[in-house]
Each structure stands twice: as C-alpha cells, then as structure tokens.
Amino acid sequence: MNAPAPDPGLDPIMGDPAAQVASHGNPAAQVAMDPVPRMARPFQGKRAGVVTRTAAGAIDYALVAGAILGTYLGIGILRFLLDPRTLAWPTWTFLQVLVIGGVYFVLYLTLAWSFTGRSVGARVMGVRVVNWQGRRLFFVGALLRAVFCVVFPVGLFWCVVSRRNRSVQDVVLRTSVIHDWASHPGSSRTGDDGPRPSR
C-alpha cells in the first residue's frame, strides 16, 4: 500500500495549524509543552526564599566582579599600548573599587529588571522580579530598586524573618521576587508578563 502523499499546504516544521489550536485546549498537550520543570511547578508564582535569592545574587556578584577585573586589565593594557615602554596598572583604592562596582551593579540590575525582569543569576535560579501587579518593573522602578539593593544590601535578608518572603526593598517599593521558570517573549507593559505573586 502506498503511503498518503503529504499535504503541500502544510508547513513541514510547524505542521497542521488546526492541530496546534486543538492542542491548546488539551490539558495533556499543555503539560507536555509546559516549560516549567515538573518538580518546580508547585512553586511557580510563589515568592522565592533567602536561599534561592542568595544563590542568584552570588552569580550576579561574580559577573560584576568579572566586569571590574576586565575594566582593570583593559585600562592597564590600553596604557601599555599608548606607551609600550612602561606597563602601569591602575592604582585603585578600596573605595574606588566599591564605587565602580556599585555603578556597574546598578546599571546591570536596572537593565535586567526593566527589560526581562531578571538578571543572569535570577534566570539560572528560575526567579523573576515583578511589581505588585505581577508585571515587569518600569525603568524608574527598576533603577530605584537597584540603587536600594546596592546601597542597603542587608535589607535583602529581611525575607528570612518575613512570612511573605519579602525583603525591605520589596516592602518599600511593593515588589516581589517570584519563582518563574517560563519565559514570556513579546509581553508588553499593559499585558500580563507572568504569574502574579501569591498572597
């Protein structure tokens, strides 16, 4: 018996559009397509605790430390290229290192939270920063939270004693750090960017 000829109107990659539409109404198909790991589904949308936050923060600190080191080496190499007779490395004080690192951290967190809602560390740990409506922060809100976190990092550990896993920054700025492994491409400021934080 000859196999039926493929429909020339079907996309060989995307398949039958009608079947795709039907899969959206099929709970089994939705589970199969769910990007959230099975073991993580009970935590999806809930506020993250101090362990997850600390792990994400450690990754971000390492990235910023790498950026500071890269800047230091870059300045030294640039000086050598301008004057090959001497190799003069920058002589930064501890305060200067703190200021440079703080500026890098604020810029990094502001851009990450305002564009995607999460930094590299947050992406690795499957968490996202959202406002009280469960949406991404506006640029100003992300900037304020970034400055608050850099200037007063101890406030982040308030979630240890908070029943709602909220830091001082979260309480003051009405934000939350929630478990969210799914990506939300194309989401807008006026749309639903992801799961709302659980009460």
- The model carries a pTM of 0.73
Please give the pLDDT value at position 23.
42
Residue pair 176/130 in contact (Cβ under 8 Å)? The answer is yes
Please give the pLDDT value at position 16.
41
Residue pair 48/127 in contact (Cβ under 8 Å)? The answer is yes
Give residue-wise pLDDT tens across range 160-179: 999 899 999 999 999 999 99
Alpha-carbon span 128 to 134, nearest angstrom: 10
Give residue-wise pLDDT tens across range 41-63: 777 888 999 999 999 999 999 99
Give residue-wise pLDDT tens across range 2-32: 555 545 444 443 344 334 434 444 544 444 4
Give residue-wise pLDDT tens across range 59-103: 999 999 999 999 999 999 998 898 888 778 889 999 999 999 999
User: And the tokens for 132?
Assistant: 């009280």
Residue 199 has pLDDT above 60, yes or no: no
Give residue-wise pLDDT tens across range 177-193: 999 987 654 343 433 44
Confidence of residue 38 (pLDDT cuts 50, 70, 90): confident
For residue 30, give the amino acid letter: Q
Please give the pLDDT value at position 43.
75
Give residue-wise pLDDT tens across range 109-124: 999 999 999 999 999 9
- Neighbouring residues of 78: CB distance < 8 A, sequence distance ≥ 6: none
User: And the tokens for 173?
Assistant: 């700025």
Give residue-wise pLDDT tens across range 141-161: 999 999 999 999 999 999 999
Please give the pLDDT value at position 103.
97
DSSP track, 122-150: HHHHTEEEEETTSSPPPHHHHHHHHHHHH
Residue pair 144/169 in contact (Cβ under 8 Å)? The answer is no
CA distances from 43 to 1, 8, 40 (A): 51, 44, 6
Please give the pLDDT value at position 85.
82
